[in-house]
Structure formats: structure tokens, C-alpha cells
């Protein structure tokens, strides 16, 4: 799930990334151009129900490419992304439009 909440001024958007229970055994990070593809910069927090979630701030008027890094070794896209785009590794990135 991806949820977007724009501020009243429209200068920022709070984006929540959430994966359901059972998506990972240990850890999930959202990795994308909004954090310079840093695998450790944006870890999702495990909730009591076993789901993973994090909310970040992003600038409106942009397209952001991202993927989830699950358990430190498996890359996944988000089925709720606004779209997908090819990446240099021969796969696709999730795309979110803010």
C-alpha cells in the first residue's frame, strides 16, 4: 500500500509505504532516488501485526523510482505503485508520482 498526504501549502507530501504481514522474515527497506539508493537509509518498521511501514516526506511535482529490499537480499516492486520503469539492471523499478 502507498498512501499520499499533501500538506496544506502543497510544498510537501507525506508518503507512507506499507507491506502486509508475511512480506519479510526480518527486515524491509524502501530504496530509491529520494534517498540516493541507500539501502540502509529508510528501513520500514515492523508493526505488531507483522506488517512493515514507514512515512517519508517528498517534494511534489516529481516522479520517484524505488524498490523494496527485503531481508537484505531480495528486491521487490510495489503492486500499488503508480507505474514501473526499466532500470540499468534489466529489471524494473516502481514509480510513484507526487
Name which of 75, 74, 58 is nearest 12 in CA terms: 58
- Which CATH number characterizes residue 26's domain? 2.60.40.10
pLDDT number for residue 10: 85
Count how many domains the chain has: 1
pLDDT number for residue 6: 95
- Domain assignment of residue 9, given as a range: 2-97
pTM confidence score: 0.93
pLDDT number for residue 4: 97
pLDDT tens by residue, 15-73: 999 999 999 999 999 999 999 999 999 999 999 999 999 999 999 999 999 999 999 99
Amino acid at each position: 500500500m502507498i498512501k499520499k498526504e499533501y500538506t496544506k501549502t502543497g510544498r510537501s507530501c507525506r508518503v507512507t509505504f506499507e507491506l502486509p504481514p508475511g512480506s519479510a522474515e526480518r527486515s524491509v527497506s524502501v530504496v530509491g532516488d529520494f534517498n540516493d539508493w541507500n539501502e540502509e537509509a529508510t528501513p520500514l518498521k515492523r508493526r505488531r501485526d507483522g506488517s512493515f511501514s514507514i512515512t517519508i516526506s517528498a517534494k511534489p511535482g516529481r516522479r520517484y523510482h524505488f524498490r523494496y529490499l527485503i531481508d537484505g537480499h531480495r528486491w521487490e516492486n510495489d503492486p500499488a505503485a503508480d507505474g514501473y520503469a526499466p532500470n540499468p539492471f534489466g529489471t524494473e523499478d516502481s514509480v510513484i508520482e507526487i
